[in-house]
Amino acid sequence: MPYSAEISRSNPTCFVIIMDQSGSMADVFGGGEGNHRKADTLADVVNRTLHDLVLRCTKEEIRNYFHVALLGYGSNVGSAFAGSLAGRGMVPISDVGEYPARLEDRSKKVPDGAGGLVEQTVRFPIWVEPHANGSTPMCAALDEATSLLEQWLREHPNCFPPVVLHITDGDSTDGDPKSKGQGIGGMRTSDGPVLVYNCHVSSDRSAKIAYPNNADKLPNDFAKTLFEMSSILPSEFRRTGAELGRQLDEGARGFVFNGDAVELIQFFDIGTRPANLR
């Protein structure tokens, strides 16, 4: 059965997170209500996702079940890691855990022992900073992801297939990305094809379409392009969606159109939880 390879230190898998950091990511979610810029929310969700991956790999020490690449595209295309990891491509999760760019004070509500909650200050690691500059060179970013994955697959031909999580808010400005996205989805290990998931984040109030199994209701060519670039969700990932309260139909693709901040969080939750971690 595909997508059944054990994920272990001797047979790790990888995640490639591709972040739109173009100028329009400075816009806010939801048609101008509130002050949450898409760039800020995306950086926050990616940092939380990395923190979660580190915790999931921590036993007596951080075990390298996962490697992670962060790619950003806007005024520049390349590694989106900040701090001492800046410029690096595929990074083992132990290095991610060891080298955040900085720690930030956050408030967290915790039980007070008497049935209530109290606020507590915690130190939260930051690996990626928000950026919103330049155009949308999506094709160049997909080329960069392809190069990273080609090297990874040469070195790990039997691993659980890599997962690519791409977040964007607009059309590519350097060509049609469809063939490049589909090319990544055509790469494979002995356990199955690489999984490519796309999330479109919006500044308007248009209806969101999440995890469709066909393109019938998609409103434009850009939405259809992202849909056609997206992989069908394997059963284990659909099961994760069900655990998160999202019933996903057979044939559902890893694609969200006009997603809001909540949808973005769930997109990462579904996309980064393969079940067969050892």
- Domain 13-271 architecture: 3-Layer(aba) Sandwich (3.40)
pLDDT for 261 equals 80
**218, 221, 226, 231: CA torsion to nearest 10:** 70
Within 13 Å and on the Cβ side, how many CA atoms surround 94?
9
> What are all long-range contacts of 33-42, with beta carbons under 8 Å and residues at least 24 apart?
36/261, 37/130, 37/132, 38/132, 38/169, 38/201, 38/203, 39/130, 39/131, 39/132, 40/130, 41/201, 41/261, 41/264, 42/130, 42/167, 42/201, 42/264
Contact 163, 199 (CB under 8 A): no
pLDDT for 207 equals 83
Contact partners, residue 182, CB within 8 Å, separation at least 6: 228, 229
Joined tokens for residue 135: 């155009």
Point out the residues of the chain with pLDDT beneath 50. none
Distances (CA, A) of 227 to 81, 186, 198, 217, 277: 28, 15, 8, 11, 28
Q: Indicate the SS3 state at residue 171.
A: coil
Q: Indicate the SS3 state at residue 104.
A: strand
- pLDDT single digits (tens) 7-16: 999 999 999 9
Contact partners, residue 218, CB within 8 Å, separation at least 6: 209, 212, 224, 227, 257
Nearest partner of 148 among 164, 137, 126, judged by Cα: 164
pTM equals: 0.92
pLDDT for 122 equals 81
Contact 133, 23 (CB under 8 A): yes
- pLDDT single digits (tens) 78-111: 999 999 999 999 999 999 999 999 999 877 776 7
Determine the Cα–Cα distance for residues 1 and 28; give it in Å rounded to an integer: 43
